[in-house]
Amino acid sequence: MDHCSTSDLISLEQALDNMLSLLSPLQQTESITLTAAAGRITATPVISPIDVPPFDNAAMDGYAVRIAELPANAPLPVSGKAFAGVAFNGEWSANSCIRIMTGAPIPAGADAVIMQEQAEVNEQGVRFNAVVHAGQHIRLAGEDIRQGAEVLPAGVMLGATQLPLLASLGVAKVQVIRKLKVAIFSTGDELQPIGQPLQPDQIYDTNRFAVHLMLSQLGCEVIDLGIIRDTPNALRAAFQQADSQADVVISSGGVSVGEADYTQQILDELGQVNFGKLAIKPGKPFAFGKLSKAWFCGLPGNPVSAVLTFYQLVQPLLAKLAGHSGWHLPPRLTARALTPLKKTPGRLDFQRGVFSSNAQGELEVSTTGHQGSHVFSSYSQGNCFIVLERERGSVAVGERVKIEPFNALLRS
């Protein structure tokens, strides 16, 4: 139960700004092959080593012609052929044309390609039924990309739209920022790893599984330190080990005020960590700071809150550290509420919802149901957050609300 006033809670934007202002991207880079580069971030701009296309070539199957030779109505004999990968290198006699296929190099002297649909072939040659413009159906060398041009800036994530582009330039290796190393563990005497039978008063460890998965999706190297018991010695040892091995340490549980929560005490010994109370729901308690070497994020224990704070706070933080400069969450959209939404003013609420577009193309959203911070199924049933402003109260059917579609981390 929340008994404290909400005015001393820090807003999500403020917390995020504070955190991001402290971080700078990793500096170490490595050169890797294109086939291993999916999901990696460019460390330097990529410069094209060639013109694309590399030579003038035909955009259509048809005939390469010299426009000045096009007779009023007489057929032109065919002097030779040019195929993709096999140029015409013969003697191009005067007053003739060259059969040419898409992608074939344009024979020297040709100034247009006439598509075969506009050609009539007989024994004397080819008669063209077309108005011909200089340069038509010719793709010029360098028309797409010039040699020496920047094709990608630094800080871009390499994926299905960037890597084939680099392949088209013959770029075999790319300089990327090294992977982030993230150490994770869950705290709690009640936690049991999956695969073990549950004792009475135990629950399965959801958070480590969720965080591990999301980190893998973000391209991080994960060091999984397991479940740590709520004793000062176990916690201290886990934090020290994590700090020595990783760029970022992420724990869950033990960041709220509770009897077994030694985390704060240990972290005061090991580094500079701020235990914040955020004006968001779910996810009020969240710790952030620096250990002796690594950054530290302490997620709340409740799985719904742990995933929300990871998604809204840790994800942007990791993107900045990883050097992913263009990273952002999907933009918030406006939708009409199809179900009532319960809310008390005081915190920015991230309810889980299902949105779709109706027959008129307008967005509509329904709640996934119970919004308790232990109801993890609300994520698997939803496809967006319904983001309700801090001072807003409950929402009636028909009211407009902001929604934030899940990104790939939460999308099924």
Beta strand 400-405 with 384-388 is antiparallel
Could you tell which of Mg ion, ligand AMP, none binds residue 206, using a CB distance below 5 to 8 A set by kind?
ligand AMP
Residue nearest to ligand AMP (CB): 301
Report the distance separating Cα 104 and Cα 54, nearest Å. 12
Sign of CA dihedral 288, 291, 295, 301: negative
If binding is defined by CB under 6 A, does position 252 make contact with ligand AMP? yes
- Nearest approach, Cβ of 289 to ligand AMP (angstroms)? 17
Please provide the distance, in angstroms rounded to a whole number, between the alpha carbons at the two ends of the chain. Answer: 32
Could you tell which of ligand AMP, Mg ion, none binds residue 203, using a CB distance below 5 to 8 A set by kind?
ligand AMP
Cβ-based neighbour number of residue 330 at 10 Å: 14
- Beta carbon nearer to ligand AMP, 160 or 194: 194
Report the distance separating Cα 242 and Cα 235, nearest Å. 10
If binding is defined by CB under 5 A, does position 382 make contact with Mg ion? no
Beta strand 280-281 with 295-299 is unpaired
Tokens 């971030």, residue? 41
If binding is defined by CB under 6 A, does position 142 make contact with ligand AMP? no
Per DSSP, helices labelled H in 218-353 are 232-245, 263-270, 303-309, 315-321
- Beta carbon nearer to ligand AMP, 105 or 289: 289
Could you tell which of ligand AMP, Mg ion, none binds residue 351, using a CB distance below 5 to 8 A set by kind?
none
If binding is defined by CB under 6 A, does position 125 make contact with ligand AMP? no
Could you tell which of ligand AMP, Mg ion, none binds residue 302, using a CB distance below 5 to 8 A set by kind?
ligand AMP
Tell me the per-residue interface mask from 245 to 274 with Mg ion, x by CB under 5 A, - otherwise.
Answer: --------xx--------------------
If binding is defined by CB under 6 A, does position 186 make contact with ligand AMP? yes
* Segment interacting with ligand AMP, rule: CB under 6 A, options 55-63, 163-171, 248-256, 401-409: 248-256
- Beta carbon nearer to Mg ion, 301 or 353: 301
Q: By the 8 A CB rule, do 94 and 76 touch?
A: no
Report the distance separating Cα 246 and Cα 223, nearest Å. 8
- Beta carbon nearer to ligand AMP, 107 or 303: 303
State which of residues 256, 312, 368, 383 lies at the interface with ligand AMP (CB under 6 A). 256
Strand partners, 110: none
Report the distance separating Cα 337 and Cα 343, nearest Å. 14
Nearest CA to 243 out of 186, 301, 185, 326 is that of 185
- Beta carbon nearer to Mg ion, 285 or 289: 285
If binding is defined by CB under 6 A, does position 207 make contact with ligand AMP? yes
Sign of CA dihedral 191, 195, 198, 203: positive
Amino acid letter for position 266? I
- Beta carbon nearer to ligand AMP, 8 or 259: 259
- Beta carbon nearer to Mg ion, 126 or 227: 227
- Nearest approach, Cβ of 373 to ligand AMP (angstroms)? 8
The C-alpha torsion from 111 through 113 and 119 to 122, rounded to 10°, is 70
* Segment interacting with Mg ion, rule: CB under 5 A, options 29-37, 85-93, 294-302, 314-322: 294-302
DSSP 303: H
Tokens read off for 155: 């800080």
If binding is defined by CB under 5 A, does position 188 make contact with Mg ion? yes
Per DSSP, helices labelled H in 253-351 are 263-270, 303-309, 315-321
If binding is defined by CB under 6 A, does position 368 make contact with ligand AMP? no
If binding is defined by CB under 6 A, does position 263 make contact with ligand AMP? no
Q: According to CB under 6 A, which residues from 299 to 318 bind ligand AMP?
A: 300-303
* Segment interacting with ligand AMP, rule: CB under 6 A, options 14-22, 36-44, 184-192, 215-223: 184-192
Q: By the 8 A CB rule, do 335 and 365 touch?
A: yes
Strand partners, 176: 30, 42
Residues contributing to the site for Mg ion (CB under 5 A): 188, 253-254, 301
Residues contributing to the site for ligand AMP (CB under 6 A): 186, 188, 190-191, 203, 205-208, 252-256, 258, 300-303
